Amino acid sequence: MDCMTTKLNEKDQFITRLANSDETLNKFYQFDAMANDNYKYKVEQSTNGREQQLANVIHQYMSDLTLSSQQLTNIEQLREGAKVVIGGQQAGLFGGPLYTFHKIFSIITLSQSLAKDYGTTVVPVFWIAGEDHDFDEVNHTFVYSNHEAQLHKVKYHTLEPPEDSMSNYYPNKLQLKDALTQFFKHQPETKHTKALLTLSHNIIDRYDSWTAMFKALLHEVFKEYGVLFIDAQDKYLRTLEQPFLKELINRFNEVDEAFRSAQVKLESHGFEQMIQTDTNVHLFIEEDNMRQLLTFEDGKFKTSKSNSFYTKEELLNIVEQSPERFSNNVVTRPLMEEWLFNTIAFVGGPSEIKYWAELNEVFETLNIEMPIVIPRLRISYINERIEKLSSKYALSIEEIIADGTESAKDRFIRAHASETFINNIEELKQQQSQVYASLKEEVQDNNDNKLLLEKNNQIHMQQYDYLIKRYLLNIERENDISMKHFRELNNSLHPMEGLQERIWNPLQIMNEFGIDVFSPSTYPPLSYTFEHIVIKP
C-alpha cells in the first residue's frame, strides 16, 4: 500500500488552533494535546480502582466473540491497571461511515505510539454508543456506483422505528439482508465479493441486536490489533456505574450550572456553542419502551414523553434496583466514560472535541480529571483509476479532496467552448445596457413606461444569460464521457461536498481491495498526524 499525507486548507480553524496549542482554546481543556509532558503524566498517573471490575465487564461483553490472543492479553493488562486510549461512535448500518474505522485506527495508532514511547502497555478501547436512540442517524449508509459515477443511499426500512436505545433494538433480519442486497447491487462483483457477503450474512444470522451486529463487524476487522469493545448500554456496565449515576442525580443542579457557565465563557471568547439541550438533568430513563429525557420541574423529575414524575428518592431507588434503565446524554457521557476508565487520551471527531470544551467546568465540579482530548486521523482512499483520471485532467488529489471538481469541470467546458461566441453575447449584453440607459432617459417622467422598459430589459438580459447557459450545456453534453470522469473524481474524493470518510461505507473498500484490507498485515502503519492521509491500497 502507498500512504502519503497532505495538508488541506481548514475552513474551520478549531483543530488548527488545537494543534498550535492556542492559549485561549486550551483554557477549556485540562491538558494541552501537543505537550509530551502531559502524556507522561497520564501514563504514570494512579489508577481509579475500578479496573478489575471493568475488565470483567468487558470480557463478559465480548464473550460472544472469538477473541484474538492480543485482545485476551489486553483484557488482562486492563485488569492489572493498564491505561487506555478511547473513542466511540454510534452503531451505523454496516459499520456506518468510514470515519468510524478511522477513529479506531486513531485509537490504535496513538496507543501503539504511547506504548513505545513510555515502555508500557496502552490498551485501545472503542466505546459503542448503544444508549443512543436517534435511529434516523444510523439506519442508512451510502454506496458509490462506479458504473453510474453516482452515490446511492441505502436504508434499512421499518414501519416501526425504535424509540428505545439502539442496544435494545432487534432489527428484522430479512429486511437487513434486503438492504445489504441493495448495497451490493451498486457494487461491481470482485474476487472479494462472495467472502464479504458471506461474512455479512453470517453476522446478521448469528447476532440479534443492532449494536451486537455492529460490534461483530468491527471485531472481525480489528481483532488482531487487540481492540477492546464495550457498549455504553451494557447491563453489567450499568451496574458498575451505579455509584456515579447516584452522584449525577444528587448533584444534577451543580452539573447543569457548571455546563451552562462553560458555554457562556466559550461564547464570550468567540467560539460557537455546540451542545444544544434544554434538559437540566442530563440523564435519560427508559419507560414505556422509550428512552426519555429527564428534566427537573416544580421539585420533581419529569419524563419527556410519558409525562411521569419522580422524586429524587424514587430515582435513586431505581438506580439501585434497575440501573440499566438509565443512560447518559451528550453532557454526562464523557463524564461516565472517564469515571470508568484510566484514560490517557480521548480521540474524537471535529465536532466531538468541541463538545468537550464545553464540559471542562463539569469535570472540575465532579472532581474528575479530563483526559487529553485529541482529534482523530482523517483518511481518504484512491485507486489506480482515480489516479489516472486526476492525471488526465491535471488535477491534484489534494485539490479534489478539498474542493471537489466543479471548478475544474467549468474550466474544461469553457476551454472547449468558442470564446468568440461568448464574447459576442457579452458585447450584446453591454449594448443592451447602453440602449436601456438611453431609453430610460426618454421615459423618466412616465412611471408605467419605466416599469415596461425595466421588465423588457430584464427579459432581454435573461435571454442572453440563457443563451450562454444552454450553449455551455450543449458543450457539456458533447463531452459526456469527460463529465462522467469529473463525477467519478468528485463522488470518490469529495462526495456531497465533504470528505470521502463521512459518506462512504467501509464495505465498499473491502469489496474492492479485500476483506483483509484493514488488517495489520495489509494496512500501512500510520503515524499520528493532523494532516490528511491518502492511502492507495
Q: How confident is the model at residue 387 (pLDDT cuts 50, 70, 90)?
A: very high
Residue 389 inside a domain? The answer is no
pLDDT in the model for residue 445:
84
8 Å CB contact between 512 and 385: no
Cell of 288: 414505556
pLDDT in tens, 177-196: 999 999 999 999 999 999 99
What backbone phi and psi angles, to 5 degrees, belong to 143?
-135, 140
Is a pLDDT exceeding 80 seen at residue 11?
Answer: no
Residue 518 inside a domain? The answer is yes
Total number of domains in the chain: 2
Residue 313 inside a domain? The answer is no
| Cβ neighbourhood burial of 147 (10 Å; 0-12, 13-18, 19+) | exposed
Give the residues across from 295 on adjacent strands. Answer: 302
Distance separating alpha carbons of residues 39 and 118, to the nearest angstrom: 9
* Mean pLDDT, rounded, for 87-116: 98
Both 489 and 509 in a single domain?
no
Residue 239 inside a domain? The answer is yes
pLDDT in tens, 410-419: 999 999 999 9
Is a pLDDT exceeding 90 seen at residue 10?
Answer: no
For the ranges 16-25, 69-78, 229-238, 360-369, the lowest mean pLDDT is seen at 16-25
Domain that holds residue 265: 1-277+327-383+498-537
Both 258 and 366 in a single domain?
yes
pLDDT in the model for residue 7:
85
pLDDT in the model for residue 537:
83
**DSSP secondary structure code for residue 501 in this structure:** G
Both 76 and 23 in a single domain?
yes
| Contact partners, residue 169, CB within 8 Å, separation at least 6 | 135, 162, 209, 210
Both 377 and 484 in a single domain?
no
21: left (phi over 0), alpha (psi -120 to 50) or beta: left
Q: How confident is the model at residue 76 (pLDDT cuts 50, 70, 90)?
A: very high
* Mean pLDDT, rounded, for 19-33: 94
Residue of 325, 328, 304, 329 whose CA lies nearest to 315: 325
Residue 287 inside a domain? The answer is no
Cell of 122: 496502552
Q: How far apart are the first and last CA of the chain?
A: 5
8 Å CB contact between 348 and 129: no
- The average confidence (pLDDT) of the chain is 95
Instruction: Say how many C-beta atoms besides its own lie within 10 A of residue 273's C-beta.
Output: 11
Instruction: Say how many C-beta atoms besides its own lie within 10 A of residue 271's C-beta.
Output: 18
Residue 417 inside a domain? The answer is yes
Residue of 416, 373, 388, 382 whose CA lies nearest to 401: 382
* Mean pLDDT, rounded, for 426-433: 93
8 Å CB contact between 209 and 176: no
Give the residues across from 310 on adjacent strands. Answer: 301
pLDDT in the model for residue 488:
96
Both 502 and 446 in a single domain?
no
Both 489 and 506 in a single domain?
no
The gap from C-alpha 297 to its chain's centroid, in whole angstroms, comes to 34
Distance separating alpha carbons of residues 107 and 84, to the nearest angstrom: 9
Could you tell me the CATH number of the domain that includes residue 209? 3.40.50.620
Both 427 and 379 in a single domain?
no
* Mean pLDDT, rounded, for 314-332: 97
What backbone phi and psi angles, to 5 degrees, belong to 229?
-120, 145
pLDDT in tens, 433-469: 999 999 988 888 899 998 999 999 999 999 999 999 9
Residue 373 inside a domain? The answer is yes
Cell of 212: 451486537
Both 333 and 205 in a single domain?
yes
Residue 234 inside a domain? The answer is yes
98: left (phi over 0), alpha (psi -120 to 50) or beta: alpha
Both 414 and 516 in a single domain?
no
Residue of 529, 508, 526 whose CA lies nearest to 517: 508
Q: Give the SS3 label for residue 292.
A: strand
Both 503 and 476 in a single domain?
no
pLDDT in the model for residue 368:
97
Pick the last residue of a domain from 458, 476, 493: 493
**Dihedral of the alpha carbons of 286, 291, 295, 297, in degrees to the nearest 10:** -60
Both 489 and 357 in a single domain?
no
Both 154 and 246 in a single domain?
yes
Is a pLDDT exceeding 90 seen at residue 313?
Answer: yes
pLDDT in tens, 466-494: 999 999 999 999 999 999 999 999 999 99
DSSP characters for 79-113? HTT-EEEEEEE---GGG-STHHHHHHHHHHHHHHH
pLDDT in tens, 270-289: 999 999 998 999 999 999 99
Please say whether the dihedral angle defined by the alpha carbons of residues 184, 190, 192 and 194, taken in this order, is positive or negative. positive
pLDDT in the model for residue 9:
75
